[in-house]
Amino acid sequence: MSDDASSTPTVDPELRDDIEEALDTIRPYLMADGGSVRLLNVTSDYVVELELLGACGSCPMSTMTLRAGIEQALKRSVPKVKRVEAVNATTAA
């Protein structure tokens, strides 16, 4: 199943660290609105899978925040990133 493949880390730890550092610059803005984000996985084709936490998980603007905010910031900081997807970790498990 694709769930098994996507849950297996497939990239080097240095890239994951770079993505975490970039997310650390974004988190304060999300936290100001009662939300946050957690890195779940980075696929071999450089798709970053994130879990939106707190208010971000239920916010009607979360798709726009993901595409216009988080994805663009990650692509600027970590050019290898091709796309960012929100994953609900509780239903994916």
Beta strands in 1-93, from DSSP E residues, in sequence order: 35-42, 47-54, 83-86
DSSP 8-state class, residue 93: -
Q: What are the C-alpha distances in Å from 68 to residues 7, 8, 63, 65, 75?
A: 25, 27, 8, 5, 11
Q: Which residue ranges form the domains of the chain, and what is each CATH number? A: 2-92 (3.30.300.130)
- Nearest Cα to 61, choosing from 21, 23, 34? 34
What is the value of pTM for the model shown? Answer: 0.80
Give residue-wise pLDDT tens across range 51-91.
999 988 888 888 888 888 999 999 999 999 999 999 886 65
CB 78 within 8 A of CB 41: no
